[in-house]
Structure 1
């Protein structure tokens, strides 16, 4: 073990403490029970297997039926879902883990099939190129489908969604979570409000930077009020350009958001770095600008390996690093990274939907196997 490691040093964040800084990133896996989008025992097994993470951030859970955009994703808006999530949190806590629920409203990245034939909602009725994963009701096969041009939300509907976030946070705590992470990234509803390309409103929620930040602030305010700022976190994606999100004003907007979140005292800020081959670079200048405004814990995610994780923490740009796909195939990822052990390969064909195959059947190394690999 590298005694000078930054990735494997103790950390305190969001009212929690951990002996290392390897986080399990939120990843949609579409394996909830139907009908009702209810978390189940298989989900509990999957997350408990990965409880050695410094923090598990769950797959996103829709805060209301309106917030749904993919088949078989779990929710946090019914009592059955609360009870299902209790199985998950009990299993993770029994293994000594820490777990936050990611709260989700997809906005326009949805399909009428989820809404009784009605259009998905968004800040504005702007056309865009985006696809969602859903199961065909006739064939039962999953596939990618185009999202239609959405309809614009009314002011009263916006107020209701803010309240839905509050109620979802309340249910998350009843379900035993250690906190919640608001999904403000990847082109979903909060992100749609932030960007001039998706938000062309002319009322108090659109136009100026302050207006485009209003919805994010209102959501963070009510969730913080409900469960405490330290147990509240948010995920943002500064450099996202896909899904019609190439906004020329997004970086200054997110820097203003970071200052607001610092003043609010949230538990952590989770920054998504683009992880596709020709994506914009997450610049070091922007890392410095974010850190200048947000001194509280930062989690970063996006194609990290141990070397890059050590660098970003060592530079002070982040406090923890989240790993996505490597955690799917390696339930004991912190051990493997710490001891420089081989990583198992991911079966991409089993990522979305299905059974235990490609989900909870990836083995951990036994003590003997780990010793032999050294």
Structure 2
């Protein structure tokens, strides 16, 4: 008699199952995996830590809340239906689902991991999202030195397999983060320049972008005394990662009257800012300095003074010539 009652209850259960199965619909971002009934999942993330660029060489934790529910009708919840439902639908009296988490599109310039990649979660006893069971997981993101400072998307994939008549599901959640900006350039320039007074000398300075995003490089010669008449072209330029620009730096040896023998160290400042800037707020440029030693040796006389000396010498020669001529005429 008892066996007959169980069979009848099972038959009724299956009929009810089949009568409501046509109403199940997958949610957006989900892919259903077989089964007469459907599993559903969602992921919620506290993304406040992603509002600003992430520091390099440091782990940033993003808390995730995983929710799981199903659409098995509530008609099974009346005695002795729950016991029958578990046995028929799940094949067990204590149904638990294993949710596997993995990361798609993971870049090789960051260490990204999940605190619990496999979660064992109880199957809710009632249908609907309001009765979902939840699990907490931490997503850890640690950008490395070579990480580009630009928005990057990764996708968290949550999946579970079929459990009896309850189908599995795959759910995808995408979030975007930006690694922080590192200001770094390489400067290649001669260590010393030899000049003479009033001589113009030009050198090439190569600047390489060692940063992890596009940058603007501005030059500053404000600490070089004007008596060296310094100039640099171009005064600024934009560079992509690992690109090199050539600046032309020129000076004129100081040319006050007299003998020159001087040694000076001339600072050239390169101010680096990310382009485009990482936020609406202005970013203070990172300043790098390159020192060039210059030696100015020689005698200088202004051109007018040279002309005057020449005139005086010519006049003296003329006077001497006239005097010699007169002396020879007197002797005759």
TM range (shorter): under 0.3
Larger radius of gyration: 2
For CA contacts below 8 A with separation 6 or more, give which structure has more relative contact order: 1
Normalising by structure 1, what TM-score? 0.20
**Structure number with higher helix proportion:** 1
**Structure number with higher strand proportion:** 2
